Chain A
Amino acid sequence: MFPLTSSIEFSQGAELAIALALGIGFGFALERAGFGSARKLSAVFYLYDMAVVKVMFSAVVTTMVGLFALSAMGLLDLSELYLEQTNLAAQGVGGLLFGAGFLIGGYCPGTSMAAIATGRKDGVMFALGMLAGVYAYAEFTPQLDDWYKATAIGEHTLPSLTGIGMGWWTLAFVAILLGAAWGIARLESRFKGLRPPGPRPAAPSRA
């Protein structure tokens, strides 16, 4: 039955309408989480507010539980889901660069939309930097795409690499989430001194 695209051929208009509708939910969730704020996002690296880890971890586990449950009930064919090839060098180095850009820029590509929508001028600058970056990649280093393909090692998941089924991994992730929630609460309380006390001096306060 799922994914729907395995049995239904959507028109381009329908596909784009679906993208728009899912995007509304995506942006709504990001803004509700506080991810329109660069200070809230960057706070994760100073340990006084780890909302980024809490939100990402609980989102990943929610999706994982849903995918596993639906596939166990025979409603979802996991093999029909797109799986990006693994390229350890690309994902390692790319991840390091991305993490640096995330901390320096204060946002990531998706959260910059939430920032722009709620008036953050630095969010606009981040998005312009993103645009310049993908443009530069396409202009100057398109051959990196060929290198990626040539050195990728195929599609790999933890279940396929270890032989341990997705159900066990899902259970493990739920357990790690519960343990992490406890650990994060302790970290936040230890580093709460770094939390800014109030509105920064330059900001006008109307409250």
Chain B
Amino acid sequence: MSTSTHWQSGVEDRAASPTAAKPFWNPYAAGVLLGLVLLATYLVTGRGLGATAGFAAVAAWLAGTFTPGHVQSSAVHLKYWNEGAPLLNWTLFLLVGALVGAALSGWQGRRFSLTIERGPRVTDGQRLALAFVGGLIAAFGAKLAKGCTSGQALTGSSILNAGSLVFLLAVFAAGFGLAYFVRKEWL
């Protein structure tokens, strides 16, 4: 278990302790590694990375399990239905792999910590609620734009897709535009 200072990549005395979390990689080095993974994905599959489709596959499975009638009535559920095996979805397997890869990395870097990430001016409960609401809004945006940070911002931008670059600019515009209003959550 690490302390919650894991997100500080700077130099500090506790970094010398054998049980402390190791610092993150230099972001440019991590970016190159991420770019190589994306390149490999393109070369092998002809498509890039994604993430939102994995969630959509789980949603289709949930619909099929609890409200089977709703699957047939939604073209979006049907798109992920995969002839009754929605969980055998490429992007969902990618997400499961990502869980494993991140767990390996976190374990090796001693960065596992059962915690809630928030600024000092909100409560844990408020932060958990905001995380849920944020996920909900992000999901809707990703569905509307046909991709998220993985599918549009990384995958599309690297092949210079015009729509992906518009998406990327819009993401940062919204983030910077809202940052002042939600500063209590983070600062």
Contact = CB atoms under 8 A, between A and B. Distances in A.
B98 A103 contact: no
B37 A98 contact: no
Interface string B154-181: 1011111111111111111111101100
Interface string A159-191: 101000010010000000000010000000000
A174 to B, nearest CB: 12
A105 B174 CA distance: 13
Contacts of B118: 38-39, 122, 200
A30 B34 contact: yes
Interface string B23-59: 0110110111111111111111111110110111011
Interface in A8-67: 12, 15-16, 18-34, 36-40, 42-46, 49, 51, 54-64, 66-67
Given A104-B182, A120-B117, A125-B132, A22 B139 contact: no
Contacts of B19: 206-207
B46 A34 contact: no
A90 B176 CA distance: 20
Interface in B75-92: 75-77, 79, 88, 90-91
Contacts of B162: 86, 156-158, 161
A127 B102 CA distance: 15
Contacts of A155: 161
Given A62-B39, A107-B135, A158 B117 contact: no
A103 B138 CA distance: 9
Nearest to B135: A129
B42 A26 contact: no
Contacts of B167: 91-92, 94-95, 98
B135 A132 contact: yes
B106 A22 contact: no
Given A30-B34, A92-B166, A94-B144, A3 B42 contact: yes
Interface of A: 2-6, 12, 15-16, 18-34, 36-40, 42-46, 49, 51, 54-64, 66-67, 70, 76, 78, 80-88, 90-123, 125-139, 142, 144-146, 148, 155-159, 161, 166, 169, 181, 194-196, 198-207
18 contacts: A4-B44, A20-B94, A28-B105, A31-B111, A38-B117, A62-B31, A62-B34, A63-B154, A87-B146, A90-B163, A96-B173, A98-B145, A133-B140, A134-B56, A137-B139, A138-B76, A194-B187, A207-B14
Interface of B: 1, 3-9, 14, 17, 19-20, 24-25, 27-28, 30-49, 51-52, 54-56, 58-60, 62-63, 70, 74-77, 79, 88, 90-91, 93-106, 109, 111-120, 124, 127-154, 156-176, 178-179, 182-183, 185-187
Top 4 closest A-B pairs, CB basis? A105-B134, A23-B97, A129-B135, A133-B139
